[in-house]
């Protein structure tokens, strides 16, 4: 035999649930760990967002040394090296990239 909850029984169980919910919520909110986490979480997220910008700002800019391997037989590696010369550091004179070696490998 299946029992049905009447409207008053449903209301009573919901009322009991709300009492327990409010009590548990109040217990969690009163803890120091909750308050510390509530404050530290946005601070940590903000730091995580802006840390790369700060590191890049204070990082010393230097020329990067590269080696290029061309397997195309179309001399695309040579064009690539020529196009890298356009990129300069903040002083607009020093090259960002310096190609140390250009290797051309015949493909099969």
**What are the domain boundaries of the chain?**
7-58, 64-104
60 pLDDT higher than 90: no
- SS3 of residue 97 by DSSP: strand
pLDDT of residue 47: 95
- Distances from the Cα of 45 to the Cα of 32, 42, 52, 86, angstroms: 20, 5, 12, 37
Higher local confidence (pLDDT), 2 or 17: 17
pLDDT of residue 68: 93
CA 94 to chain centre: 31
Higher local confidence (pLDDT), 7 or 104: 104
pLDDT of residue 12: 84
Tokens at residue 49, please? 């967002």
**Contact criterion met (CB below 8 Å) for 96 and 88:** yes
Q: What is the pLDDT of residues 4-41, one digit of tens each?
A: 656 566 678 888 999 999 999 999 889 999 989 999 99
- SS3 of residue 64 by DSSP: strand
Q: What is the pLDDT of residues 63-95, one digit of tens each?
A: 889 999 998 888 898 999 999 888 888 788 888
Tokens at residue 89, please? 């550091």
Higher local confidence (pLDDT), 59 or 41: 41
pLDDT of residue 3: 63
pLDDT of residue 36: 93
């Amino acid at each position: 035999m299946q029992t049905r909850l009447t409207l008053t029984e449903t209301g009573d169980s919901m009322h009991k649930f709300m009492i327990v919910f409010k009590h548990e919520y109040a217990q969690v909110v009163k803890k120091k760990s909750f308050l510390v986490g509530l404050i530290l979480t946005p601070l940590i997220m903000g730091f995580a967002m802006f840390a790369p910008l700060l590191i890049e700002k204070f990082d010393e800019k230097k020329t990067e040394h590269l080696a290029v391997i061309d397997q195309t037989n179309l001399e695309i590696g040579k064009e690539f090296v020529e196009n890298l010369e356009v990129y300069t550091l903040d002083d607009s004179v020093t090259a960002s990239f310096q190609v140390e070696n250009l290797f051309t490998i015949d493909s099969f």
